[in-house]
Structure formats: structure tokens, C-alpha cells
Amino acid sequence: VSLSYFSTFHAAPTSVFGKQVPMAPNTTPEKYTRARKAYSALQKERISADCKDYLPKVLEGCAAAVKKEALPASPKDAEAIKGLFPTTCDTPLIEFIAGAPGPSQAPVKVGVVLSGGQAPGGHNVIAGIFDGIKQWNEASTMIGFLDGPHGVFTGHFVEITAEIMDGFRNTGGFDMLGSGRHKIESKEQFQDSMKVCTDIGLDGLVVIGGDDSNTNGAVLAEYFKANGCKTKVVGAPKTIDGDLKCPPHIPVSFGFDTACKTYATLVGNVAVDALSTQKYYHLVRLMGRSASNIALEVALITRPNACLLGEEVARDKKSLRELTVDMADMIEERSRDGKDYGVILLPEGLIEFIPEFNALMSELNDKLAEPGVQATEEGILAVLSKENTEVFRYLPGFIRAQLLLDRDPHGNVQVAKIETEKLLAATIKAELETRRSRGYKGNFSPQFHAFGYEGRAGMPTIFDAAYCYALGATAAALLVNGCTGLIASVKNLTAPCKEWQCGGVPVTSLCVIERRKGKDKPVIRKALVELDGPLSQPFDFYKMIRRELRTKDVYRIPGPIQFDMLHCESSKDIPMTLQLELGRKLTVPAAKATPKRMGDFLFLPPEKRLRSDLQQWRSARQRRLPAAFQEFHCNSVAVNAGTETMVTDHKEVLDRFFSHTQLPLLDLMATEGRGPALANKTVGIVFCGRQAPGCHDLVCGLVEMLLTAGNCKALGFVGGTQGLFSKQAIELNLETCSAFAGSGGLEMLGRTVDRIKSQEELEMAQKTCTELSLDGLVLVGGARTNTDAAYLGEFLSSRKVKTAIVGVPCGIEGSMTNEFVEGSLGFDSCAKAMSQLVGNTAIDGSSARKYYYFLRVMDGSTTGGKQPTSHLALEVALETKPNLLLLSEEVDAKRSTLRELTNEIADVVAQRSDAGKNFGTILVAEGLLAAIPEFRTLIVELEALPMPSTVEKVLPELTTWSAALFRSLPEFIQQQLLLERQSNAALQLSQLETERLIAWLVEDELKQRKKKGTFKGSFSPVCQFLGYQARCSMPSDFDSDYAYTLGGTAALLAAHGHNGYMAVVSDLSQPVESWRLGGVPFPAMLEVPPSSPNETFRPRPAIFPRKVDLEGAAFRTWREVRTSCAREELYENPGPIQLSGPSAERVSTTIATRFSYLQELGRLQKQLQAVSSRCRPGCDPRQVRVATQSLSTLNAILDELAGPLAAAPTLEPK
């Protein structure tokens, strides 16, 4: 080891016109231009929270520093470390005790720099420093260096004022200053850093970063002190990976808690999704390349079926084959229990922990660098060693191809780009296929998720917000006490924050010597998952419970992060890893109930005690009720017939399908006292449509309403429509409802296929209704479900079956709306859950300032859907203000080609680049490709062919134009277009990586522009799909109240025998107490699809998904801001769904601004009544003439408007 760390520095002069010349750093502050321009309701709420509530008591006055000896992390490296840090190696450890303010404290000037990747809470570290130096002396000033350490040695900085600081308190991201991964390494960079700090008069500099950044900060402290610079340097421990941990001084790095809780929320939602359909294995890749701390923490929170830890794989020298066999064993064992579903977690760096894989990578890099070796399977197999040949052959074909073709500029295999979850799923699938001959009969259908960027810039949890503020205040106290070369230390974290212990530990005492890039370097050793030793409690606990987790479904659903400390205890939770390491004992209650096989589905009896603390707290919430339900009793609500509905178009067609087409609206009104007793009624309920938040509260409303009457009961059909056909029903009671109240997904009853259409299916449904003597049957779902409900109701009526069919509008896509239906159940919650992820990601982008995020938003499927709707994407855009929104309906209306769309996006990227902004966020609606004319034609042609298929089989069957388009597409899209179809034979648009295709096309276009010299910026796209991780979220307050009200309404309609009605709640933009309840007959909502001249059949009338109204209030709101959004960063982060507090009452913009058709009809009736009242016999003749003429003119106008609707529904094949 060199005795002087600085002897290794090398010059890095700047090149100007071919000559190497030094460039002097700037020493003048820049104008601050990065203030946030918009805030969500929750951001405003969090910004207004007083950070000083988090200040430990020891720092409330002028803390006194007590010096103590610092013990080296590695005694054997102590001398080497001393040689590298001769002037700071003897720095003592500092512990603060309460002190009294001094008589005259001179103001200080302190700088701060954010280094490395984002971590939630960084802004609160800055706030703690700011308030700390102001507490020292109000005249103290703060400097912020822009975009990481590069800003220090180049002199790019701003002065941080109170106004700037107050705009970022308790918020996520690093966008206040920006971050960077540069290091201060060369001799010139150290010299320039010292010049900048000296010239602007810095007394101190705080480096907020991870292990490498804090080591770099310690080197800077040594350099400054050795060269007589007055600037002291201290650090703050940051990293979401949790690998900067040096107990007892640094028990945890900041950001770890928020990131893990964000990922755990998503994993919990995915687990509920798995239980809802019982047909998928969800493989989740989590951040953590060098350590598996995140994976372990998320596993402790959510309890998946398996969590693979890189450290354990490395210790046990497990091969990929061994990992595969172990997972296949678990999957086969679960399959024997009837469970072809599950959740598996793995860290992104898992593959690099596999010894045999590292050996293969090393030899591959060496062999591919040799002249004459071809990058083909045949070429590489001819030169690999026997051992590595076997490993290479074991890999799936797509991974082998990736290893050979996807290499970095140096020719090395890019291991980090390997999607480990897809690799593992492929080897598991192959292994399971070999077992079929030995008795395996299950089905392994994997779904893949990669959670990363959305966890780095979220609003910090209460713990991270407090911890970060305390770290910042501690750093300030260290600097004003003249300390340098230390990292802030806050301990005693299981106690209330006022009792936390603060101080500083010398970075040199934490360092060890490691060999990096051929040189011995001082580093803070990364804290990996400890498998044995003093900090192995988290792993020991997981090891104790994981055997049971493999086969039992004891998933723990943590729900969204909460901030209401007054009412929600879960908001104060600290990391489970930290709890265990600090000695806290945790228990896992054992599951007592045994799953019951019901047809092809497992019914999982509810056990409320197994629910997470937040779920149990949530289940006790008292829902808000409309005026009609103030006494929630079926005999206290009257169901009254209102105005008769009318069919304006194709009445003759509807008359062929339905015996009655002009039925009255139904109104639910509170009665004075109890009405006639309703008794001896049996009502069933089926989850037909796809997963959506709030369905369990819907069941609660239905059951609790029915059980208020004498001898009534509710039956839940387990397994969706298949459960209905096979009479797989359970009796629902208050205990069941209590266990599921406030929870997401369809876990209670599950679902299968959304279809009751064929004659056979209708007759099976009739048989169930008859044999179970159902008085009513409630079908929950979207447009397809309610279309089937309309025909089932008519079918049962024609067969003289007493069962009243009632539909409920439900679906995250928000398209089960029309004149009568103002909101689709689950839309509000899902939009909010997705908005948090988009908001987090957008803030991450504006912090790193180097990525374009292309985010595809799930929008669900349509009835026979050729073109899904984009309500969800629009609502998420309204909530978050991305730079671009690619909306299916707008693209369809403009008839934009793929080329035009690509150019439009590239133009925005280029314009932003001209302004120095090579980053942004772009939302892509899931069904976008089906809205592009040439792509829609291709889809229609492909849907006429049997699938799955191959490129070779398909191309000859396509027209010339479609074949040309197909050939022009990248291979990954070609393969996805040829996958198996969904249940209605339509292409599964969710399987198309539309965002990746758009990013690929834009990247290619920008490359062409760069060649022409018209684009000079950079473009680095990152793609992600948002869907499964949000659609089973816990319901918002709005959806919980809406669902419960719909449940009660459906129960009354069914019990009173109103067949062929949909339960509706109107005036949803008003307070809950003002909501109006009722029923709408299905025929009033049915439309007759257009037919073409060459059709041999007339498609049946249906309820069609409602497209985004491009003249509606929601889209107009987006249209007003989108130009500014493209140019500026107007990002808002709505944050996680809040279940209490002021933000909990917020309703999505789409619903809050929607036109209330029924309300307007009511106003019209009042106006007509007023005219009739004023024009009675004896009134002034002039009034009669004016009224008659006005009404005659009005009727003439209405005659003109009485034509077919402008929006043409899509065809559904018979």
C-alpha cells in the first residue's frame, strides 16, 4: 500500500481545440432554477409538517461534543490506513450531550453535495443541516453543489435560502440539487475542489452518499487538512441497498426503509393478485446487486413463498441447476396441494453470486477477446472448458444469445443486463417438463416484475424523514464543533426520535483495505446479509419461517406507506431488519385454517389475526354513507320506480333480444321508520371481471345489508364464473367480511373467466340459480360482465326463474361508465397507486437528469376489445404531470402513423435537449398500438390466425403491407404478437412491450438526427410496465365507501326482485352524504354495433367500454397543461394512498369532473315542472306564447340531435 493515497493521483486536464489546458473552476453562485413548480395535496401536507418534531433532544440546544477513542474496523489494516490518512487517522469518535448556547457564536458557511444514486430522505438531511447552522447562528449560510461531486470541483453551486429549503422538506428525490456518480479523484480535481471551497469561504462540506462517496469524502477531508484548508468535511450514510451499515455507530443507511416499504407494498399487491386468480407464479426482481438486504427486508415484511439470497448462494456454492431444482421442488410440492401459483423474490445481483456463473463469464470474456473466435454458440462451445461448456449448455437459448451478442464497448458480457427472473423461470420450466413423466401434473405460468427506480425517490417514511433530519442536524453539529473526516451517527433508533443518540464516527475507523482495479484502496466494507454472527438475527428469523412459507400462503400485505402519526400506528414502523438486529423479538402466528378444494379453486378461510397491522387497523374503519343509508337496514330503504327510460336507436333490434326495453329507473330512498319486512331472501355474488380494489368492501356492503333482515343470507361463489357453473358456494357472514374489509384484490372468492355467454353457460347458470333457490345474483365486473348479466337476466326471465340478475360496475380501466354510471369501482385506487409509482419515477429522473422513463400503464381489456381505453393513463397523467402522454383515443382520432408518433416524441426529446434536459417521463397507454391504423390492420390479420405460432408460419398469411410492417418490427415485438390469445380470442395487448418498441423507434430516429447534426443531446431510455403491482392495492377511502354503498344497493335491488338492473351511485363528485343511489335497466345502456355490408350476422347489442372523451373535462384539463409539461418539470408526486388524514378524502380528477347525467335529468324535470306550474289556466297569455315558441324551438333542435352517437363501438365476434 502506498504511504500516500495522493501519490496515485493523475492529471486530467481539459482539452480545448486539441490543446490540453487547465480550466479554472467557477467560484460564483448560479441562479437557482430547480424549484418545484407544482405539488400534490400530500406533498403540501408533508412539506407543512414541522421537521423540528424529529430533532433529537440532545441537539435542541448547543450540543457539546464528547471525544472518545475510535476502534478500527480491521486491526490488521490499521497501519495501512494510517499511512493513507496521516493527518486525520487519529480523529476521535464524537458523542453529543446536551449543552448550553455559547455567548457569541460566529456564523458559518456550509456546503452540501448529493453523491451517487437517489435515496428517499436526502432533502431532509439538507434540511437538518440548514436548520442546524441557523440554530447555531441565524446569519449562517448554506451552499448547494449541483449534480454531485462534479459540482464541487467545477464550482457549480447555488446559495440555499429558506424559501428554497422549505419547498423540499419531507419530500423524496434529489431534485433540489441533483446528484451524480462522479468522484473527486485526480490531482487537479482535488486542487480545484479546495480552490472552490476556499474562495467561497466554506467552513464545512457535507457529503451525502454511500460507502464509496463517504470514503471519497474522508480522502477530501485528509487533503484539505494536509493542505491547510479550513473547510471541514463530514458525511451522511445514504443508500437504499442497505449495504452501508457499521453497527453500533451506523445501524442503517437512510432511504432503506422507504425503498423497502415501497417495494413491499408492490409485492403485497402482487401476492393478493396471485391469490385472486390462483394461476400465476410472480417472480419479482428487487434492487440490490452487491447485497441482498432489500430482498431480505421485503421478504420479512411480506412473507413470500421463497426469497433467494445471493449471500447464501455464494456461501453454499450453489449452482444454477441446484437453485432450479430447489425451486422446482417447491413448485411441485405446492402443485400437489392444488397451488399452481406463488410469489418468489430475488435480488438483481443473484446471478453474480453463483460461482460457476462467474467462472463462465470470465472465460467468455477472455475467449471472445481472442482473434478468430466467433460470437456464435458453435464458435464459443469449441473453445470453452469442459466445466463451462456444461454450464453454458444449461442456460436457456435466449440467455445464451444475450451473452454472446449483448456486450459492452470493451467487448465484455453485460451480466447486469441479464433479467435474472426470466433466466430462473426458463430453467424451472424446463426442469418441471422433465418431471411430467414422473408424475408432475401442474401448470407453471410465470409473470415477471422488476422493482427498482420507483423506490429511490419516493416520499420518505416517517422513520426516514426523522432519521434523515437527525443525521443532517448531527452533521451540522459536527461541523460547528470543528470536526472533520467523520460520518454522522444516530443511534438508539427503537426509542422515540427525541431520545435518539447523536454523534460522529471517523470514516477511517470504518475502512478496510481492498484490492480494486489492481490497487489497494481504503473502502468502507459493504454490509452484506449476515448469515451468522452478531447481526444474523434477520436471516435467522427468515430461516426459521421459510419452510412454512414454501407451502402455506401466509402472505403479509403491508399496504401503502402512511403518514398520519396521530391515528395510524403503522406509520411509525421502523425496518424489520433493524428491529431484529437491535434485539426486538418478532413472532409469526401460525395459520390454523386448512384450504378447502372447491372445483379447480382453493377457498382460503379468512384468519384476521394473520393480517398485517395496517390491514387490521383498516378493517375497523367506519365507512361514510349516503343519506339514503344513514340507517343501514334493508327495511329502512325504499326502492321506488322513477322515470321510464327510453331506447333512441335500433329499438327494433333490442326488441328482438329483450322482452322489455323501456323500464323505469329505480331510486333508493330512506324511509321514515321501518317499511315492510324483507325476509327469507338468498342472494349470490360472483367476481366475474378482473381484479380491482374495493371488491371486498362491496361484499361487506351486500352481506351486512342482507343480514339486517330476517333469515336472509348471502352466498359467495368461489372461483368466479366457473364456481357459479359448478355451484361452488360458501355462506358469507360478518366474520368473513370483517377479515377482508378494506383489503384489495379478489382473494375472498377469486375469479376465473369473465364469460357467461354460450347456451351451455347460460343453462349452467340457470341450474345453479334454481338448485340453490337464489332470489338474486350479483355479477361484478366491467362492460363484458354487465353485457352478459343483461342477457342472463333475460334468459332466466324467459325460463320463469325467479332469480333477479343485478350488475355492478367494476374495473380498474374505468371504462365501465356511461350516462348512468359515473365511476367504475377500483379505478380511483388503482389510478392513485400507479400515480405514486409514476410520481416517484419522474422525481427520480429529475434527480439523476440522464434517463427517459417510458412507462406503460395497464388499462385492462375491453369487450371483444380491439382498442382498450386510456382512462387510467389519462388520470395518472393528471395526477403526476409527465412530459408526454401517449393516449390511444387521441392517436386514433388523429390517425397518427407509427412514424408520426415517433417523430412527435423525438421532437420533444430534442427540444428538451436544447434546453440542457436529457431526461423526462413519458406515459404510454397499454392499447396504444391498436390505435395506430397500420398496426390495427396487422392485429386484425393476426387475430384471424391460430395462435401461438411462429414467424415462418405467419408471414405467408399476411397481406403485403402487414407483412412489411411485421418484418420491420424488432424481434421481441414479433414474438409477443404471436403469443396465445386471451379468452375472447383477442390479442393480449398487455403482452406487447409497447413502451419498449416506442423507445426503440425514438432511439433509432435520434441516431439518424445525430448523424445529420440536428440532435446533439443524449438519450438513455428506461422502460417499465405498471399493472399487476397496483391493481390489487388496498382501496382508497373513496373506493371503500363507493364499494360498500354499491354492495348495499345491489343487495336491495336483488332482494326486491329487480331483474336486469345495474346498481348505480350518482353525484360521485359530491360529498358521500349527497350521493344518490338507484338502479338502471340494462337495455338503457345497450348499444347496437355497426355492421359492414359483407357481414353475414348482426352482432348482438352490448354495453361497450366508454372511450376517453377528447372534449370532456378530464382531457381538457390535460390539454391545457401538456405544452408546459413537455417543456418544463411540472411533476407532482401524489404519494402512496392515504387511509386517514386530509389527503385520504381526495377523489380522482376523472371522477370529480365527470358530467352527472342523472343530476342534469333531475334539473331538466324541475325546469319543465316550473314551466308547467307557471303556465296554468289563468296565467298571462304572453307567458303561454313564449313558453310554446321556446319549447317548439327546443324540440326542433332535439330532432336535429336525434341521430346515432358519434362514438362508434367496436365489433365483437359472435
Whether the bond into 948 is cis, omega within 30 of 0: yes
Separation of alpha carbons 270 and 1029, rounded Å: 5
Rounded to whole angstroms, the Cα distance separating 1211 from 1214 reads: 9
Answer for the pair 822, 1156: CB distance below 8 angstroms, yes or no: yes
Contact partners, residue 542, CB within 8 Å, separation at least 6: 296, 299, 300, 307
Helix ranges (DSSP H) in 238-319: 256-277, 293-302, 310-315
CA distance 874 to 827: 12
The answer to whether 68 and 486 are in contact (CB under 8 A) is: no
In 681-702, which positions are buried (b, 16+ CB within 10 angstroms) versus exposed (e)?
A: bbbbbbbbbbbbbbbbbbbbbb
State the cell numbers at 475.
Answer: 452533521
Q: Which of 1173, 1203, 960, 1159 has the alpha carbon at shortest distance from 1070?
A: 1159
The span from the CA of 551 to the CA of 334, in Å, is 6
DSSP class of residue 544 equals H
Residue 1091 near residue 851 (C-beta atoms within 8 A): no
User: 108, 101, 162: which is closest to 131 by C-alpha?
Assistant: 162
Candidates 77, 203, 241, 754; catalytic one: 241
Amino acid identity for residue 630 in this structure: Q
Which amino acid makes up residue 997?
Answer: L
Q: What is the rounded CA–CA span in Å between residue 307 and residue 293?
A: 11
- C-alpha 535/C-alpha 526 separation (Å) is 14
**Distance (Å, whole) CA 953 – CA 956:** 7
Torsion of CA 546, 548, 550, 553, to 10 degrees: -120
* Cβ partners under 8 Å of residue 507, min gap 6: 214, 215, 217, 218, 221, 235, 485, 486, 487, 524
Distance CA 369, CA 411 (A): 7
d(CA 262, CA 633): 40
Q: Are strands 804-809 and 1061-1066 parallel, antiparallel or unpaired?
A: parallel
Distance CA 1086, CA 1103 (A): 5
Q: Could you tell me if 729 and 718 are in contact, meaning their C-beta atoms sit under 8 angstroms apart?
A: yes
Name residue, grid cell 412514424. 899
Q: Which three cell numbers, joined as nine digits, stand for 605?
A: 378461510
**448 three-class SS:** strand
Closest CA to 561 of 5, 48, 1136: 1136
Contact criterion met (CB below 8 Å) for 8 and 1: no
* Residue 778, strand partner residues: 685, 806
**Could you confirm whether 337 is annotated as catalytic?**
no
Query: Which positions are annotated as active-site residues?
Result: 241
